[in-house]
Amino acid sequence: MRLLKNTRSLLPGTLQLRDCGIFEEEGNILLVKGEGAQERHIIERDTCLYKKMDIAYGRRAPGFDRVMIDVTTRCNLKCSVCYREPDSAADMDIRKLGELAQQFRGKIISICGGEPTMRPDLPQIIRLFSKKNTVFLITNGIKLSQYDYLRELHASGLRYVSFSLNGLSEEALAAINEEGILAQKLSALANLKRLRVKTVLAVVLAKGVNEKELPQIFDFCLQNRDYIEELRIRAMAPLGAHLAGEKLCISEMIDTVTRAFGISKECVLREFEVKRAVNTLCRREIFSIKSCTFDFHLKTHRGRVYPAGEDITEKIHFPPQGLRQKIRVFRSLLKLYGPAMLIAGVFKSARRAESIPWFHSGGLFKIGLRSWPDINTIDLEENSRCRTGYWLDGRFVSFCYANILKDASRCQRHV
């Protein structure tokens, strides 16, 4: 084993902080805890990709750009895969939510749960947070099949929805969610399209369960680009309710998705190389690059869909040095995203206008891949750079860390 870095992680059961190391061994990246390598957990199976992703690009501004708030723990489904299992805890008081809303300006606020639409005062909650921020509703979409209800949420200030869709067949939904809900899901999506609510389709990828659904979901996104802005695919993790099976790391997610969509993995990685070159030149994290997240974009030309990185023909050396290499990086950015998107990105960075989601126009479609850490695999040094916060017990903590704390609390209650 070769040590790559020292970090800290958590001890299962007690949640105590523990010094540990990230090691490279036989093509895998391991998080090793305890003396004598007592605990060894694979966090990545592509050592080259991991080394490129695990880089801190200078200091980041304190605080979080995105904030997630559970307004309820209730839900109208009982899914086999859910990182927040329903419990009997009381809903967050509307007055407390009003106080929280006053703390934020220019943030993206994700209203989640449980299932937020279980709250009859959800329109009021959206109004509270949308006055100075942008609201995302994280939902299974069942209640959005009622057009008048969705119209009320839209009138309250809802403009963005993250919509759970783990398949377009009754079989896949029955395995992961519940039986007999496909018609409601499709009706809700039709309503979102009718009201032009910008939508992120969120898929939990369970190995051996719903991989075959990916091509159909991908085609559905491409046919509905007028309101679907992003397809986000998350690997099932051992958090909350989950099926038996191995979690996919980011490199395995890239392999699975590029095969399912019939696109070039090499061209997908070209976009990634440009992003890390930009971060290096700017000495800050302009593009989010971590071992738990990977984003890329697709373009459409004359009916053909292909990775944006296919347009990159110039070789970028790393780290980029000298005027010629810097010019190549800038030209590559222009080819990837176009001048309008780059100007919007500069504006967002200069104004720190994080309340404006950076959705992409000009024929670009975003694919986001996520492989969340669990209590065995969390690298707290890397996690400290997370830009998404979660309201937990009167304080904000990074999202994935909060997932682990919540799951540990749930397990203790069931003992």
CATH of the domain at 248: 3.20.20.70
In a domain, 50, yes or no: no
- What is the H or E stretch that residue 316 is in? none
Are 361 and 378 found together in one domain?
no
> b vs e for 44-54, b when ≥16 Cβ sit within 10 Å of the residue's Cβ?
bbbbebbebbb
Are 144 and 179 found together in one domain?
yes
In a domain, 20, yes or no: yes
pLDDT reported for residue 315 = 87
**Among the ranges given (272-276, 362-366, 399-403), the one the predictor scored with the smallest mean pLDDT:** 362-366
Are 36 and 140 found together in one domain?
no
Q: How far is CA 355 from CA 139, 155, 160, 350, 358, in A?
A: 20, 19, 12, 13, 9
Are 399 and 304 found together in one domain?
no
Are 129 and 251 found together in one domain?
yes
**Among the ranges given (53-57, 222-226, 333-337, 345-349), the one the predictor scored with the smallest mean pLDDT:** 345-349
Are 342 and 196 found together in one domain?
yes
Are 161 and 211 found together in one domain?
yes
- pLDDT over 50 at 414, yes or no: no
Are 209 and 281 found together in one domain?
yes
Query: What are the pLDDT digits (tens) for 158-197?
Result: 999 999 999 999 999 999 999 999 999 999 999 999 999 9
- pLDDT over 50 at 415, yes or no: no
pLDDT reported for residue 359 = 52
Are 192 and 218 found together in one domain?
yes
Query: What are the pLDDT digits (tens) for 196-208?
Result: 999 999 999 998 8
Name which residue leads in pLDDT, 415 or 393: 393
Amino acid identity, position 205:
L
In a domain, 111, yes or no: yes
Q: What percentage of the chain has pLDDT greater than the value 90?
A: 66
In a domain, 74, yes or no: yes
In a domain, 320, yes or no: yes
Query: What are the pLDDT digits (tens) for 43-85?
Result: 999 999 999 997 766 555 567 889 999 999 999 998 888 877 6
The two structure tokens encoding residue 267: 């061209």
Q: φ and ψ at 138, to 5 degrees?
A: -95, 115
The two structure tokens encoding residue 153: 């949420």
In a domain, 51, yes or no: no
The answer to whether the CB of 165 falls within 8 A of the CB of 181 is: no
What is the extent of the structural domain holding 264?
Answer: 66-370
Domains identified in the chain, total number: 2
In a domain, 175, yes or no: yes
- pLDDT over 90 at 394, yes or no: no
The chain-wide mean pLDDT, for the chain, equals 89
Are 115 and 159 found together in one domain?
yes
- pLDDT over 50 at 242, yes or no: yes
Q: Average pLDDT in the 271-282 region?
A: 92
Q: Average pLDDT in the 137-148 region?
A: 98
Last residue of a domain, one of 370, 385, 401: 370
In a domain, 248, yes or no: yes
pLDDT reported for residue 410 = 63
Are 366 and 382 found together in one domain?
no
Are 240 and 94 found together in one domain?
yes
- pLDDT over 60 at 357, yes or no: no
